[in-house]
Amino acid sequence: MELISAKNLYKEYKLGEVSQRALDDLNFKIEPASFLSFVGPSGSGKTTLLNLIGCLDVPSGGSLTVAGADVLKLDRKERAAFRGRHMGFIFQDFNLIPVLTVYENIEYPLILVQNVPSEERRRRVLSLLESVGMMAHKGKYPDQISGGQKQRVAIARALVTAPELVLADEPTANLDSKTAYMIIDLMKAMKEKSGTAFIFSTHDQKIVGAADIIYSLEDGKIVGRKEMKKHGSI
């Protein structure tokens, strides 16, 4: 069964009396454990689509099923609970909580979103710290580590709840090329290890190549789908 299914999906924004379609008649299916990228120029609708898949925003019409749930039928609270159970997020600006240490940032969703017992929390956080190579920095605060390290922590935080899906909107936009490749490599490695689907948006053509499936967007429409048959790092 597919992880995400969209049928005639569209999103409209009202600008005064005028309606503007940011996404128009999208149809696609995404399998579990995919490593997929939405690419396209600025304004093509990548972020809007990720917001809809991530239940951060509500479609204007069509249907969208994520992890078996019809997201149009979820209210505000149900969407929050759904995100906490099924999804992880990686942001362009890392968005770590500045008053929490690296360890605590990763632990946060387990305490305040999923109420996981302390022993299990500790096991999961330490395992992820090890996997993303941040064990040595676990006691540091976000302002004491580099951008690349922050994004590693964000990846660990996104994966700590063992979600079915991680959404990353331009995860490498604020990183230099070398770090960006390392982050994409890490995301791919984590996908292989955890079986979690990763969907990311980017406009960086060098990064795009890392994805197994690439959807190209233009003016809110899917204009292409490409399956890459690559293995290993980019």
Which residues make up the interface to other proteins (CB under 8 A)? 51, 54, 56-57, 76-77, 80-85, 87-89, 91, 93, 95, 97-100, 108-109, 111-115, 118, 157-158, 161
Closest CB 57 distance from other proteins, rounded Å: 5
CB closer to other proteins out of 33 and 80: 80
Identify the H or E element spanning 1: none
CA distance 57 to 84: 15
**CA distance to 172, 206, 231, per residue, from 30 (Å):** 22, 23, 19
| Cross-strand pairs, 215 | 38, 225
Nearest residue to 152 via CA among 98, 113, 105: 105
Nearest distance in Å: CB 117, other proteins: 9
**Residue (83 or 124) nearer to other proteins, CB:** 83
Shortest distance in whole angstroms from residue 114 CB to other proteins: 8
Scanning 32-144, the segments in alpha helix (DSSP H) are 46-53, 76-86, 102-108, 118-131
Which of 113, 228 has the CB closer to other proteins? 113
Question: Which CB sits closer to other proteins, 55 or 207?
Answer: 55
CB of 89 to other proteins, least distance (A): 5
Closest distance between other proteins and the C-beta of residue 231, in Å? 31
Choice between 16 and 117, CB closer to other proteins: 117
How many angstroms separate the CA atoms of 214 and 180, rounded? 18
- Distance of alpha carbon 143 from alpha carbon 146, whole angstroms: 8
CB of 210 to other proteins, least distance (A): 24
Whole-angstrom Cα distance, residue 144 to residue 188?
A: 26
CB closer to other proteins out of 89 and 198: 89
Pair type for strands 165-169 and 197-202: parallel
Q: Show the 3-state SS of 124-183.
A: HHHHHHHHCCCHHHCCCCHHHCCHHHHHHHHHHHHHCCCCCEEEEECCCCCCCHHHHHHH
